[in-house]
A and B are shown apart, each in its own frame.
Chain A
């Protein structure tokens, strides 16, 4: 008990003494402060300046200091992907969702590969493409499965399967993972399902799907982990050349051996 009572007071006293004596701040104290010396630029003005940089230069500037990095990675870079041609991503989450069309689901993104077929936009989601092989699974869905999706994406068309075999019971659904197949209107007419369909498959937990009150908030997409890419990684791959040139020669022994 005595230890619990003592420790915060001691901490406070230690900090204030350090501050009053005019010693330089410790590393931990300095970490979350704005690292600009003097009052050359306050952080708000820094952010204003960074907004005027082109994306590649701004991404390089994230290596300047912590506060810049936090702003660029969490706030500024969010807008760059709007309108870009990726398959699908969830922009407002730091771990973006990127779906690949290829079968191996290996995320390979270079600048050349950025140009992909289709883009549509539904709220936070940029859109979708799909492999023809998943049409088989589409037929196993029933009408009830697709209802929550229709609430979530009102403009998307969903195809229901034949027969009641897909849906067993609500209880069973809430335990298992649902597979949702979403099909955008702009891609193909319904008659082309079996021949040339571009669809998006996602596994969503059915936890909140059937609750009436907070359905939208609880609806959560859970793609496989191999498809989730952090926004940081994505931009580092996109703008990586700039970093390679300028930061520092990493692995010098390797370059010598090559």
Chain B
């Protein structure tokens, strides 16, 4: 059995069942309420599933991941110390813009393993950067008031350093 996925631009992707099972939204759509019975409700292959928020390029990239993980279980849970396989890190790369789109799409499509991997990828990019660089990278406006900046300077020890320069 195969399932047709339709991206935002209308491009159609024909994927097999184990690949589509990795995507939570598609799995729910295909099996519907009869997920526990184990057979598909949507038997008509010609009717595709529209993923309105995912572009074709990102969807094809996500399907590469799903294809790789169709037989084995991805890492789903972890913290900052966990190690990912080399294939994963090579897959996610260092392109910030693309990882952000993958992260959003993984959140939208309910793929916990890919969500974790994208978080790890972004964290690797952000690690070691200064806050101003992060602001430029993510398009964030620094919204601190002057008073808060002064307070943070004090906490960081500048004030003490000013009083007792050693």
Interface residues of A (CB under 8 A from B): 27, 30-31, 35-38, 40-41, 45, 48-55, 57, 60-61, 63-66, 69, 232-233, 236-237, 240, 243-247, 250-251, 254, 258
B105 to chain A, nearest CB (A): 11
Which secondary structure characterizes the binding site on chain B?
A: helix
Q: Could you tell me the distance between the alpha carbons of A251 and B153 in the complex, rounded to whole angstroms?
A: 11
| Given A41-B100, A41-B103, A45-B104, A36:B140 Cβ within 8 A | yes
| Given A37-B140, A53-B126, A236:B131 Cβ within 8 A | no
A189 to chain B, nearest CB (A): 38
Structural contact, A37 and B139, CB atoms closer than 8 A: yes
| Given A45-B107, A51-B80, A63-B152, A38:B157 Cβ within 8 A | no
Which residues of chain A come closer than 8 Å to B46, judged between CB atoms?
none
| Given A49-B119, A51-B79, A53-B123, A35:B143 Cβ within 8 A | yes
B23 to chain A, nearest CB (A): 18
Interface residues on B, range: 35 or more
Q: Could you tell me the distance between the alpha carbons of A236 and B120 in the complex, rounded to whole angstroms?
A: 25
Of A48, A50, A65, A250, which is within 8 A of B158 by CB? A250
Q: List 11 A-B contacts (CB under 8 A).
A: A31-B145, A40-B138, A49-B119, A52-B80, A52-B123, A64-B135, A236-B152, A243-B156, A246-B131, A247-B132, A250-B162
| Given A40-B100, A64-B142, A57:B156 Cβ within 8 A | no
Of A27, A49, A61, A251, which is within 8 A of B131 by CB? A61
Structural contact, A247 and B130, CB atoms closer than 8 A: yes
Q: Is residue B38 contacting chain A, with contact meaning CB distance below 8 A?
A: no
| Given A31-B143, A31-B145, A258:B123 Cβ within 8 A | no
